[in-house]
Amino acid sequence: MITMLPNSPHVESALFGENGIAEGLTAGKCVIDMSSIAPLASRDFAKRLEEIGVDFLDAPVSGGEPKAIDGTIAVMVGGKEDVFAKYEDLLKTMASTVALVGEVGAGNITKLANQMIVAINIAGVAEAYSLAKKAGVDPARVYQAIRSGLAGSTVMDQKSQKIFDGDFTPGFRIELHIKDLQNVMDTSHQINVSAPFPSLAMEIMQSLKAHGHEKDDHSGIAEWYEMVNDMKLQG
């Protein structure tokens, strides 16, 4: 059984709510949850399923809509090695990379790390382009000059043109990234880890949400810099 839902409460309801999936499961079955949710919730679900003899893998994905369409997403998996071995080939039918990163919950810890890096990266890129624009330098030329150096990244390559075009048609919506960063903050507080940069990125996105941009692609972080700096990055 594979599930992919927005957040922890949705997965819990689908599994354990009235007429939930767990009611129809028998010992020896497995639930593969590909949702991006709180890691501690994944561990709780695994424990509850273990009581009825059902295995559990948390297997969130990365790559956004383009890679989902062409079947090249990355899947990060948490769970027992023997259970992972049973379903690795199945997961590979929809992904370019499938990696076991640890016990249950490790998949979603890895996804949160991914989302932290992506959010901070987009914000850094947008901030740098804003500096260039205000200084009278074309951000598109800055991108071409630095993309092959240490500052270059997949995020920069995938999101820069959207920023330059002002095209924030969603591949991954701001509201979903807010959800992920809320899970980052909740998890970091539960395990006593300081995470200041994701909290700043989240506040930027919360401001955009307040201005009606929550459905925009997360590259729309650039819109916040345009608002506060009274400028446009296009043209």
* Residue whose token pair is 């987009």: 122
Specify the DSSP element, H or E, that contains 141: helix 139-146
Domain ranges for the chain, please list them.
Answer: 2-103, 109-229
- Rounded mean pLDDT for each run of 10 residues along the chain, 235 residues in total: 94 96 95 96 97 97 83 95 97 95 97 97 98 97 98 96 96 95 95 96 98 98 98 90
CA dist., res. 129 & res. 113, Å (int): 24
What's the pLDDT score for residue 25?
95
What's the pLDDT score for residue 31?
98
Catalytic residues, by residue number, are 111
Nearest to 97 by CA among 114, 112, 75: 75
What's the pLDDT score for residue 66?
77
C-beta separation of 223 from 213 below 8 A: yes
Task: Dig out the tokens for 45 from the structure.
Answer: 């679900």
Query: In angstroms, what CA-CA distances link 149 with 87, 89, 142, 143, 154?
Result: 38, 36, 11, 10, 12
CA dist., res. 67 & res. 63, Å (int): 5
Domain at 2-103: CATH architecture: 3-Layer(aba) Sandwich (3.40)
Strands 2-3 and 95-102: unpaired
Domain 109-229 superfamily per CATH: N-(1-d-carboxylethyl)-l-norvaline Dehydrogenase; domain 2 (1.10.1040.10)
What's the pLDDT score for residue 65?
77
